[in-house]
């Protein structure tokens, strides 16, 4: 694919994102669904930062996602009623947790990396589940909502106006996507690709593999907790399901469905997954069954994802 056609596709993508709340209704959706696509898309992109560009599979990213959602809710509920500070607290909490757990697991690879990430994710689930007085336990953290953002010259009423919240999320999403692109184009990002392609060779070139994987893991957790914070704010609520390992699996399937070798793949995957899940769960109670079949079909017949189809054999 040459430069011009890439530019045109990117322009179309951003145009679609900018107008999503308006055309979502036409395809049977609603503004909240559009916001959910962006938020879960960001989470899937954070997973893909590791999976697609570093070559390690984290099956436990719901932990950092959910931690972000809880941190933003708890900050607004118990500390300061400010959306901005809540997001900051969420990102700090998620990144710190990622740094700590990342240090324990960087030596593992492949399926063991996946297994340990998913198991550690459960710690946060049980804390949220058991620490009822603070987290609300199984019922979730209620009694808070996102606060209007005061920009000095104007006030964004993101609580009452869900389109306004969509555009705030889109702005944050754009910043995050830009940051991720820059990171991947930097020498650091290129080194990650080298590790993905051939770890042994990269090691012989003198690259400190463990350090690079750790940094990539922490960066990925940063974006995952940011997405989690936005998710908590979207629902004005959060519960232990935002931390559960099934959500981690959903992030990975979004990345694979969209195409894990491409930067925008996870967003495309998230859009398909979110809309499909919304549709199936409105049609039948047994939506889990169909989502499960969907997983199996993707693995068997569609392993390279939607964007993988366009890239041809070189991908």
Partner 1 sequence: MTQLVLFNAFNGLIVGAFYALMALGLSLIINLTSVINFAHGGFLALGAYIAYMLIPHVGFWGALLIAPPITALLGLVVERVLIRHCYGRDPLYSLLLTFGLTYVFEDATRYTWGAQSLPFHVPDWLMSPLTPSLFFLTGYRLFMVVLVAIAVLGLFYVLNRTRLGMRIRAGTLDLEMVSVLGVNVRILRNLNFGLGIYLAGLAGVLAAGLLGLQPTIGDSLIMPSFVAIIVGGIGSLTGTLLGGLLIGVVSGITTIFFPSASEAIIYVMMALVLLVRPRGLLGEEGMKL
Between 26 and 296, name the residue whose CB sits nearer to partner 1: 296
SS3 207: coil
Burial class (CB in 10 A: 0-12, 13-18, 19+), 216: buried
Between 82 and 122, name the residue whose CB sits nearer to partner 1: 122
By CB under 8 A, name the one of 15, 18, 119, 175 that touches partner 1: 119
Q: At its nearest, how many Å lie between partner 1 and the CB of residue 113?
A: 8
Residues 228-247, interacting with partner 1 (CB under 8 A): 245-246
Between 88 and 306, name the residue whose CB sits nearer to partner 1: 306
By CB under 8 A, name the one of 122, 156, 261, 276 that touches partner 1: 122
Structure-token match 């499909």, residue found: 276
The token duo for 137 is: 């336990």
Chain mean position to CA 233: 15
Q: At its nearest, how many Å lie between partner 1 and the CB of residue 48?
A: 11
Between 87 and 252, name the residue whose CB sits nearer to partner 1: 252
Q: Which run of H or of E encompasses 150?
A: strand 149-150
- The answer to whether residues 252 and 59 touch, using CB atoms and an 8 Å cutoff, is yes
Q: At its nearest, how many Å lie between partner 1 and the CB of residue 56?
A: 10
Q: At its nearest, how many Å lie between partner 1 and the CB of residue 112?
A: 6
Can you list the alpha helix ranges (DSSP code H) found in the chain? 3-23, 31-51, 62-74, 83-105, 110-130, 132-135, 162-185, 187-197, 199-204, 209-235, 245-258, 265-283, 287-301, 305-311
Between 23 and 112, name the residue whose CB sits nearer to partner 1: 112
- The answer to whether residues 104 and 218 touch, using CB atoms and an 8 Å cutoff, is no
Q: Does 22 bind partner 1 (CB under 8 A)?
A: no
Residues 98-117, interacting with partner 1 (CB under 8 A): 101, 104-105, 107-112, 114-116
Q: Does 294 bind partner 1 (CB under 8 A)?
A: yes
Q: Does 279 bind partner 1 (CB under 8 A)?
A: no
Q: At its nearest, how many Å lie between partner 1 and the CB of residue 18?
A: 32
Q: How many residues bind partner 1 (CB under 8 A)?
A: 43
Sequence-distant (≥ 6) Cβ neighbours of residue 85 within 8 angstroms: 75, 79
Contacts 24+ apart (CB under 8 A), 197-201: 197/55, 199/55, 199/109
Between 222 and 251, name the residue whose CB sits nearer to partner 1: 251
Interacting residues with partner 1 (CB under 8 A): 51, 57, 59, 101, 104-105, 107-112, 114-116, 118-120, 122-123, 126-127, 130-131, 245-246, 249, 252-253, 256, 286, 288-289, 291-296, 298-300, 303
């Amino acid at each position: 694919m040459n430069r011009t056609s890439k530019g045109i596709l990117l322009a179309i993508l951003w145009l679609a994102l900018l107008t999503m709340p308006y055309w979502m209704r036409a395809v049977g959706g609603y503004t909240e669904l559009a916001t959910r696509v962006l938020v879960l898309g960001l989470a899937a992109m954070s997973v893909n930062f590791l999976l697609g560009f570093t070559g390690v599979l984290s099956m436990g990213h719901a932990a950092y996602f959910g931690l972000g959602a809880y941190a933003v809710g708890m900050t607004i509920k118990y500390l300061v009623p400010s959306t901005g500070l809540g997001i900051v607290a969420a990102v700090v909490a998620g990144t710190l947790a990622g740094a700590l757990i990342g240090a324990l697991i960087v030596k593992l690879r492949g399926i063991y990396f996946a297994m340990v990430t998913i198991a550690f994710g459960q710690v946060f689930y049980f804390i949220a589940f058991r620490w009822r007085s603070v987290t609300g336990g199984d019922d979730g953290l209620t009694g808070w909502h996102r606060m209007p953002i005061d920009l000095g010259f104007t006030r964004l009423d993101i609580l009452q106006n869900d389109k306004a919240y969509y555009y705030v999320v889109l702005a944050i999403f754009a910043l995050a996507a830009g940051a991720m692109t820059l990171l991947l184009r930097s020498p650091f990002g290129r080194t990650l690709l080298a590790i993905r392609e051939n770890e042994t060779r990269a090691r012989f070139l003198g690259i400190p593999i463990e350090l690079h994987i750790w940094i990539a893991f922490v960066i990925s957790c940063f974006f995952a907790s940011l997405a989690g914070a936005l998710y908590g704010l979207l629902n004005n609520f959060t519960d232990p399901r935002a931390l559960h390992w099934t959500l981690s699996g959903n992030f990975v399937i979004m990345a694979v469905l969209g195409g894990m070798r491409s930067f925008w793949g996870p967003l495309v995957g998230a859009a398909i997954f979110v809309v499909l899940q919304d549709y199936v769960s409105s049609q039948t109670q047994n939506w889990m069954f169909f989502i499960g079949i969907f997983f199996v079909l993707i693995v068997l017949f569609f392993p390279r994802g939607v964007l993988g189809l366009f890239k041809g054999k070189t991908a």
